Structure 1
Amino acid sequence: MVADFGWPESWETSRMDASDQQGRWWPRALWVAALLPFVLSLVVHASGVKARPVESDTARDSLGFEQYLVNLGSPPPRSEYLARFAFRNVGSQPLKISELKPSCGCLNPRLDRKEFAPGEGGEFFLRVRAANEKPGPHEYTCRVLYDDGQPREAEVRFKISLPEERVEIRPRSLIVYQFNNQPTTKDVTITDFRATPEDRPLARLEILEATCTLDWVEVTIGEAQFDEIGQRQQKVIVTITDVPPGRHDGSIIIRTNILEYAELRVPLQVDGPSPSDEHTPRK
């Protein structure tokens, strides 16, 4: 049996009319929603408003490096280690490198050229002379200052752990102030910390030659000896006299019988009398 709730016939007719109107309204709403973007675009075009491209907060750097970190880890002993940094102008404007600023002057980075058109590149090296540094981990940096229409800066890093068994130079550099013609003498000591097997006595480091790039600096080789803990040492005696006026940069070059340490270098800076004193007799 079907229950009869006795709804009035007018109520049923009204409900059917509302359902029929709702069925006719939905297609119209869908058409309006589809046409709305087109109508809005016509309004925007008519008003002359144009969309603007999104601009980045920071312009792209023009100087790109193949690698920003060179990590040599713990390499075998030798006199010198190099980190190569190759770069390219990846921008659309010429750039000029104004300066390389290493964290240590001993790294001695150099550039053959400083101006690079778009697509051009170059390279420089960071150089670590193991005999002039303490053993253990080291991290060096080099800031690259350049301009591609506005001043910019990039930074590269060089990491290395220098071996304990090594040849060491002390001091690692020489700075001399020489304002008269009295000779100044400085010693450079080379110590061999490498373990030398008893059956290979010829493996002990011997200094074969010592010279200076400044021709008025005299360099002589001292006798080999052993320190208090049995490490072999040998001195190089540097004598400086009659220094020309001004500042002079050079190197003490030490050649040895060990392939890994065939050439050792000690940076030398000598400050002589000022150029105004050139014609003044020195005492």
Structure 2
Amino acid sequence: MDERNENVSNQTRPNSILEGGLFAFALLPFVISAFAAHSSDAARPISGQVPRETLIFSQYAVDLGLVPPLETIPAHFDFRNLGDSDVRILKLEPSCGCLNPRLFDDKKVYGTGESGRFYVSVKTANEAPGPKDYNVRVSYDDGELKERIVRFRMVIPERKVTVTPAEVYFYQTHGNPDSREILVQDHRGQQLNVLRVESKSDNISAEIGERRIRGQGVEVPIRIDVPGEVAPGKETCWLKIETDDPEYRVIQVPILIWGPQDSTKSEIQPVTNESPSEVSDRLSVQPANYDQPDSKSSAP
């Protein structure tokens, strides 16, 4: 009896060993995979963290909705350096030249924890009515070259007074004088009069033409002249138009003059020695008797 049990045990033992080996062999890929994953995780450095931005804006989008029928709509963007090193603002690049972005006090370098501001503004007389979506690309250097984009949205109401074209360009690379004509148009059926035009640029002279009746509105042509010889590079200036209309006392038209060589000037235009409230006041509609002794003016 004992011999029979021993024989049966001896016969079943190889089968048990074989089954155990097959089971272990079946588990081998899972064991290897788990070990490899553990080893890979242990050896891999943490790389999923996004580097912290150094230049942080309090608002990345300013949405004014439907704006009132004012001559100028201003806005500003505040920012702060949260990095461990200085930040230098390299350029403010607008999607539309009408925004005229400019740093407060022309300040370009900000230390750790320091705050700053830049301004934009839109001349509604230069823009078609409807929703507008502008942006400004802010290029800066904090040890690396980086960019941030902020947006400025609004809905411009139906036009009352317009300027066509909204911007004027001169390419003075040929040495010959040139001229352009713009039209100030009143679509309200009122009798708007242009009182005076002026520019701070020595390269700009302007003359008011005869007012004309067009349908139920009026239009006033203004001729802008530049000399053939201008300084090398790029000059950005403004033609200031004063009227007798209480809603549009001052209309400003941007003018870009390209000289015979590439520009070497900064794209950022300064706003010097002005506080934020002073800038807001300056961007609002100005009275018709506004005068600057260093401006070149023309009156009919």
Structure 2 counterpart of 1:99, from 70, 91, 96: 91
- After TM superposition, list the pairs within 5 Å mapping 1:88-167 onto structure 2: 88-111=80-103, 112-167=106-161
Residue aligned with 2:68, SS = coil
Partners of 2:181 and 2:222 lie apart in 1 by 6
1:1-283 matches, within 5 Å, as: 57-111=49-103, 112-178=106-172, 179-180=174-175, 183-194=177-188, 196=190, 204-227=191-214, 229-247=215-233, 248-271=235-258
Q: Which amino acid aligns with 2:100?
A: N
| C-alpha separation in 2, matches of 1:236 and 1:82 | 26
Aligned-pair distance for 1:121? Answer: 0.6
**Are the equivalent residues in 1 in contact too, given 2:189–2:216 (CA < 8 A)?**
no
**Residue in 2 that maps onto 1:38:** none
Query: Number of residue pairs matched?
Result: 216
Partner AA of 1:225 in structure 2: R
Aligned 8 A contact 1:64 1:89 in 2? yes
Aligned-pair CA distance for 1:191:
0.7
Kindly provide the amino acid, as one letter, of the partner of residue 193 in structure 1. Answer: H
After superposition, give the CA deviation of every residue in 1:10-52 in whole Å (9 maximum; x if it has no partner): xxxxxxxxxxxxxxxxxxxxxxxxxxxxxxxxxxxxxxxxxxx
Q: Following TM superposition, where does structure 1 have runs of at least 4 consecutive aligned residues deviating by more than 6 angstroms?
A: none
| Greater relative contact order, per chain length (Cα 8 Å cut-off, separation 6+) | 2
Per-residue CA deviations over 1:118-159 (Å, capped at 9, x if unaligned) read 111110012111111111111001111222233322211100
Quick check: 1:216–1:242 contact (8 Å CA) kept in 2?
Answer: no
In the alignment, the residues of structure 2 paired with residue 117 and residue 272 of structure 1 have an alpha-carbon distance, to the nearest angstrom, of 36
Q: Look at both structures and tell me which one has the larger radius of gyration over its CA atoms.
A: 1
- Contact kept in structure 1, 2:187 and 2:216, CA below 8 Å: no
* Change in 2 beyond 3 A, CA 1:274/1:54: closer
Note the alpha carbon deviations across 1:198-241, whole angstroms, 9 max, x for none: xxxxxx421110123233533111222222x3221111122333
**Amino acid corresponding to residue 219 of structure 2 in structure 1:** Q
Deviations 1:137-195 (A, max 9, x none): 110011112222333222111001111132110111222244345x5332110111236
| TM-superposed deviation, 1:98 | 1.7
Unaligned runs of 5+ in 2: 1-44, 263-300
Name stretches of at least 5 consecutive residues in structure 1 with no aligned partner: 1-52, 197-203, 276-283
98-107 or 66-75: bigger deviation: 98-107
Structure 2 CA distance for partners of 1:96 and 1:56, relative to 1, 3 Å: farther
Say what the alpha-carbon RMSD is for the aligned residues.
Answer: 2.7
Deviations 1:93-129 (A, max 9, x none): 3222222121112211112211111111110012111
Kept in 2, the 8 Å contact 1:165–1:195? The answer is no
In 1, Cα distance between the equivalents of 2:84 and 2:197? 50
Q: Secondary structure at the match of 2:256?
A: strand
Q: Secondary structure at the match of 1:106?
A: helix
Confirm or deny: 8 A CA contact 2:178 2:228 kept in the other structure: no
